[in-house]
C-alpha cells in the first residue's frame, strides 16, 4: 500500500486555461476480443455491455460471487475489440482470472499494459491537441473517438483520457503534470478506482458505483448480482462513499482504516483513493451512512485531527 507522495500536485489555478497532460502509470489496459467478447463481458460486469456503442465508454465493476468488487473498469469498444482500463497492479491477475471463465467462448483476454499507454489531458484548450492526433473532441461525457490506434474518452468538456500505442509521440501541451494531478481530479469528481489495497472490500454501491452510472439493475446475471440487487432493493447498504480533506502531516493511504467518534475504539471507515493536494491531501473514503449523516468526526487515528468532509458533485 502506498501513502500519499510528499510532493503536491500542480494547483488548477497554475494551469489556468492551459492544456496539461500526465502519463497515468496507475492504469493498466486489458484487451478483450473475439466473436463472443461482447456477450462474455456482459455476463461478467455490473453494467450493460450488449448495447455499448463504438462511440461510448461506461464505468463498470467486476465482482466476486459474494458481490465484492475485484476491480473497477472503464469499458470502451471500437466494435473490433474492448478495452478495459483498471488499476495497473490488478491488470495481470484480472486477465488471468477472467480467462478462467472463458471456457468454450470465442474470447481472448490480453494484458496490454506494456503495449498501450494511458495519458490524461485536461484544460480548456484540449480540442486542438486532440485534433492534432486526428481525434475530434466529442460532445457528451463518456463519449469516445478513435483513429489510427489512438483512443480518446471524454470525462468532461475539459478532461479527456487517452489510450495510445506505447511508442507514439508525446502530445504537444504547454504543461506536463504528474499522475497525482489527474487522481486529484478524479477524487473531486467522485470516481473511485479499486486497487489491490481495496480489492474485495466493497459492494459496488458502497463506492457509489450506481451514482456514476456503473451498475445496470435491469441487465442479466453476473457474478455477485443477487447480492448487489438485494442490497439495492432491500436497503441493506449501510456504508457509502464520501470525499474528504486531510491536513498536512496526516498520513492516509488506500485501504487504511479510519475512526469515527460515534463508534469509539473501532475502525468504522476506510480509505479508497487519495491524492496530494495543496496543504494536505484529498481522498475518497467509505464510511457508515449514520456517521456521515450525523456529522460525527472521522479521524485517521483515534484521537487524531478530524478529516474535513467535502461535497461530491452528484447525489447519493
pLDDT at 79: 77
Residue 66 confidence (pLDDT) = 96
Parse the chain into domains and list their residue ranges: 12-189, 197-310
Task: Give residue 16's pLDDT.
Answer: 53
CB count within 10 Å of CB 110 equals: 14
Q: What pLDDT shows up at residue 167? A: 86
State the fold for domain 12-189: Gyrase A; domain 2 (3.30.1360)
The predicted structure's pLDDT at residue 2? 42
Q: Which CATH number fits domain 197-310: 3.30.450.20, 3.40.50.1820, 3.40.50.150, 2.40.30.160?
A: 2.40.30.160
Q: Which residues have CB under 8 Å from 134's CB, separation 6+?
A: 147, 148, 150
| Predicted local confidence at residue 11, as pLDDT | 46
* pLDDT value for 55: 86
Give the model's pLDDT for residue 125: 87
The three cell numbers locating residue 152: 480518446
pLDDT at 89: 98
Confidence at residue 132, expressed as pLDDT on a 0 to 100 scale? 86
Give pLDDT tens digits along the chain (316 positions). 344 443 444 444 344 568 999 999 999 999 999 999 999 999 999 999 999 999 899 999 999 999 999 999 999 998 789 999 999 999 999 999 999 999 989 999 999 999 999 999 999 888 888 988 889 877 899 999 998 889 999 999 899 999 999 988 778 888 889 999 999 999 999 999 999 999 999 999 999 999 999 999 999 899 999 999 999 888 779 999 999 999 999 999 999 999 999 998 899 999 999 999 999 999 999 999 999 999 999 999 999 999 999 999 999 9
Q: Which pTM does this prediction carry?
A: 0.93
Amino acid at each position: 500500500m502506498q501513502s500519499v507522495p510528499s510532493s503536491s500536485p500542480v494547483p488548477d489555478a497554475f494551469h489556468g486555461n492551459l492544456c496539461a497532460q500526465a502519463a497515468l502509470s496507475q492504469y493498466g489496459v486489458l484487451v478483450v476480443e473475439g466473436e463472443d467478447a461482447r456477450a462474455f463481458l456482459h455476463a461478467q460486469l455490473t453494467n450493460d455491455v450488449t448495447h455499448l456503442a463504438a462511440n461510448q465508454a461506461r464505468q463498470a465493476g467486476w465482482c466476486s460471487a459474494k458481490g465484492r468488487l475485484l476491480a473497477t473498469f472503464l469499458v470502451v469498444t471500437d466494435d473490433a475489440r474492448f478495452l478495459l482500463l483498471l488499476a495497473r497492479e490488478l491488470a495481470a491477475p484480472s486477465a488471468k482470472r477472467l480467462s478462467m471463465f472463458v471456457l468454450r467462448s470465442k474470447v481472448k483476454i490480453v494484458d496490454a499494459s506494456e503495449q498501450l499507454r494511458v495519458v490524461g489531458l485536461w484544460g480548456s484548450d484540449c480540442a486542438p491537441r486532440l485534433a492534432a492526433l486526428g481525434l475530434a473532441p466529442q460532445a457528451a461525457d463518456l463519449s469516445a473517438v478513435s483513429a489510427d490506434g489512438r483512443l480518446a474518452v471524454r470525462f468532461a468538456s475539459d478532461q479527456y483520457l487517452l489510450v495510445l500505442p506505447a511508442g507514439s509521440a508525446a502530445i504537444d501541451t504547454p504543461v506536463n503534470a504528474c499522475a497525482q494531478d489527474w487522481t486529484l481530479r478524479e477524487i473531486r469528481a467522485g470516481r473511485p478506482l479499486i486497487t489491490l489495497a481495496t480489492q474485495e472490500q466493497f459492494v459496488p454501491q458502497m463506492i457509489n458505483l450506481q451514482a456514476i452510472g456503473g451498475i445496470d439493475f435491469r441487465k442479466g446475471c453476473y457474478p455477485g448480482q443477487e447480492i448487489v440487487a438485494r442490497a439495492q432493493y432491500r436497503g441493506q447498504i449501510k456504508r457509502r462513499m464520501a470525499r474528504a480533506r486531510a491536513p498536512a502531516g496526516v498520513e492516509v493511504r488506500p485501504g487504511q482504516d479510519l475512526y469515527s467518534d460515534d463508534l469509539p475504539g473501532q475502525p468504522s471507515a476506510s480509505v479508497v483513493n487519495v491524492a496530494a493536494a495543496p496543504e494536505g491531501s484529498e481522498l475518497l473514503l467509505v464510511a457508515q451512512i449514520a456517521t456521515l449523516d450525523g456529522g460525527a468526526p472521522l479521524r485517521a487515528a483515534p484521537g487524531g485531527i478530524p478529516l474535513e468532509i467535502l461535497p461530491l458533485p452528484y447525489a447519493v
